[in-house]
Structure formats: structure tokens, C-alpha cells
Amino acid sequence: MSRHNDLDIGLVVGAHGRHVMIETPEGRRLIAHPRGKKSVCVVGDRVRWQAAGDEAVIEALEPRRNLLARQDEWRTKSFAANIDLLLVVLAGEPMFSESQLTRALIAAEDAGIAATLLLNKIDLPAAAVARERLKPYREMGVAVVESALKADPAASRRTLAALLAGKTTLVLGPSGMGKSTLINLMVPRADAQVGEISQALNAGRHTTTTTTWYWLDDAKSGALLDSPGFQEFGLMHIAPQRLAELMPDLRTHLGQCRFYNCTHRHEPGCGVRAAAERGEISPNRVRLYEGLWDELEAGQRKG
């Protein structure tokens, strides 16, 4: 048993640099600092803490159920921990990037986190094209929900309330897709909450913290986590040999290859490529797989 088990548990609800904000079970919020030099806490973590004046010192990190991270050539960036659902907000205007989407889904699959895609702006003409581009994702079992957050907020709110109830959901989405509209629709006083956390953490009124936690209701049964921006997901922490098993449409055909160490790129007798030729895997997904393999293999060589 940990020597810190008698300490109170706090929930990390905001982070900026080495400072975090924790919330106690009674709802009190405190600035907290990790003991030692390195901050390993992310939003969604449960920590054991003790008081230090009117602030707190984090003494221990509780075990995580999962951790969503991205890693490029230079550094690893963790988004959040203990997530039930990743909600990716997409639209046809501006058109979403399939490369960004695929990377986010692979990272979620690797972390064992369920993902749902929210196709927003379905009232606009470009929604038909976006819907068609999402067809392979629906077919491989990814849940796709549709909304018009601005044009029909009442219906969108009902759809989202059912989807998000009782869950801790991390919302991702490139700018212009409607992520801020979603958060403001589902979380009253969202701007005030983020301003409160940013100011407390000295992040400046206009600086968004790394990820921010919002309770969805007074009962605190569900929460939305907002991660600013949607830069390319670096997947350098994933070996290229694992890519196919993290892509459900490719994974279905694993075990049908002539060679046990098939890369599914050029070997004869490859079950994955045969499935692609039969039209069971979309050509675009094959291209994305090959591009990611090259990128990860190059990263391995550098490493």
C-alpha cells in the first residue's frame, strides 16, 4: 500500500506548465505543484495531495485507466488521462483533413479509448461530400453522429446530451469545425470557467491552458475536456509494425498474409492488399497507411 493513501484525492482540472489546478470532492479548487522537478500530471488525473499554505503539493499520482498522447520528433505531449470517449468534431466547410482524423483515431485506439466522430454543419451543401468521405469510417465501425450546432442548437443539444451523459469526453477538432460552439452550447459559463483557471494558473486571460475540464451538470456525472488546437498528431511512440492492428479496416484482414512479418506494402500474398484490390479497404486509407509507415520508419531510423 502506498504511503500516500491516507492523503486526500484531487482531480486535475487545468494545467499550464508545471502548475495544475486540482478540484477536491467538495468542489474546492486549489493551485497545486508537483513535489520534485518534473510535472507528470495531466488533466483528468487523480492525485494525492496535501496543503501548503493556500495551495497544494502533489505527493502521488493515482493509477491511470488510459492516457492520450502524441509524439513528434522533438517531444511527447500528453492531452488527458482517464477518458471515456474521444469526440472528434468535423465539418465539410472547411473540409476536414483525413490525415489528421486518421492520426487521432490511431492514437485513441492505441490508448484503448472509444472514439465518435461528430459531423457538424450538416445544413451546408458541403456536408454531402464530408459524409461520403466518412463512409469508410462508418463501415469499419467508427460511430458517426451528425449535427448543425449553430443552425439547430436545440436538436444538437439533445443529441449530444444523450451521447455525453455520464462520460468524461475529450473534444478535439480543427478550428472552424464548431468545437467552441459545441462547448458553449453544452457548458453554460464555459468562457468564465476557462478564464478562471487560466488566471489562477498565471496563464494570462487570453491563453488557453493545455486542456480544460468542464463539468456538464451540477451532479458532476459527466465532463467535457477541451484541448486547444488540433495540430498533426505525431505517432512516433507507435512502431510502424503496429499500425495495421490499430486501423480497424486493415486489422480485419490480418492473419491472411503469406509472410508472418508482412508490412502490407509490397509483399506477395498479402491479405490486406488483396482486400484493398477487392474494394474492401478504401484506396485513401491504404495511402494513409503507407504514408504513416514511411514517416514512422524514418523516425525509428533517426531515433
The answer to the question of whether 58 is labelled as a binding residue is no
Q: Is 176 annotated as a binding residue?
A: yes
Would you say 174 is a known binding-site residue? yes
Give yes or no for a contact between 272 and 288, defined as CB atoms under 8 angstroms apart. Answer: no
Q: Residue 44 annotated as binding?
A: no
pLDDT tens digits for range 171-203? 998 888 999 899 999 997 777 566 566 667 665
Instruction: Answer yes or no: is 156 a known binding residue.
Output: no
Instruction: Pinpoint the residues of the chain covered by CATH 2.40.50.140.
Output: 8-61
Whether the per-residue pLDDT at 41 is higher than 80: the answer is yes
Q: What is the structure's pLDDT at 198?
A: 64
Q: Model pTM?
A: 0.92
18 has pLDDT over 90: no
The predicted pLDDT at position 98 comes to 95
More confident site: 182 or 2: 182
Cα separation, 66 vs 233, whole angstroms: 17
Known binding residue 147? Answer is no
- pLDDT tens-place string over residues 51-108: 999 999 999 999 999 999 888 777 778 889 999 999 999 999 999 999 999 999 999 9
Tell me: is residue 179 an annotated ligand-binding position. Answer: yes
What is the CA angle 15-114-232, rounded to 5? 55
The candidate with the shortest Cα–Cα distance to 159, out of 145, 142, 172, 180, is 145
Q: Is 41 annotated as a binding residue?
A: no
Q: Where in the chain are all domains bearing CATH 1.10.40.50?
A: 240-302
Ligand-binding site membership of 238 (annotated): no
For the structural domain made of 8-61, what CATH number should be given?
A: 2.40.50.140
Is 177 labelled a binding residue?
A: yes
Is the Cβ–Cβ distance between 108 and 137 less than 8 Å? no
166 appears as a binding residue in the annotation: no
3 state SS for 170-188: EEECCCCCCHHHHHHHHCC
- CATH topology for 67-226? Rossmann fold (3.40.50)
Q: 240-302 adopts what CATH topology?
A: Ribonucleotide Reductase Protein R1; domain 1 (1.10.40)
CATH 3.40.50.300 residue ranges for the chain: 67-226
